[in-house]
Amino acid sequence: MKSENFKILLVEDEPDHAHLIMRELKKSWASNTVDWVDDGKKALDYLQGEGEHAGNDISLLGMILLDIKLPKLNGLEVLEWVKNNEDTRDIPVIMLTTSADIKDIEKSYGLGANLYVEKSVENFVKRIKNIGMYCQYLRDSENED
pLDDT in tens, 94-124: 998 887 889 999 999 999 999 898 876 566 6
pTM above 0.85, yes or no: no
Residue 43's CB is within 10 A of a number of other CB atoms, namely: 28
Could you tell me if residue 67 is inside a domain?
A: yes
pLDDT at 59: 86
Could you tell me if residue 15 is inside a domain?
A: yes
In this prediction, residue 84 has a pLDDT band, given cuts at 50, 70 and 90, of very high
pLDDT in tens, 24-48: 777 776 567 889 999 999 999 999 9
HSE (side-chain half, CA atoms, 13 Å) at 131? 28
The range of the structural domain enclosing residue 70 comes to 7-140
Question: How many domains in the chain?
Answer: 1
Rounded Cα gap, residues 84 and 111, in angstroms:
9
Could you tell me if residue 83 is inside a domain?
A: yes
Could you tell me if residue 2 is inside a domain?
A: no
Q: What's the whole-number average pLDDT of the chain?
A: 84
- Of 59-63, 73-77, 98-102, 133-137, the least confident: 133-137
Could you tell me if residue 82 is inside a domain?
A: yes
Could you tell me if residue 44 is inside a domain?
A: yes
**Does residue 68 contact residue 74 with C-beta atoms inside 8 Å?**
yes
Could you tell me if residue 101 is inside a domain?
A: yes
CATH code assigned at 99: 3.40.50.2300
Could you tell me if residue 1 is inside a domain?
A: no
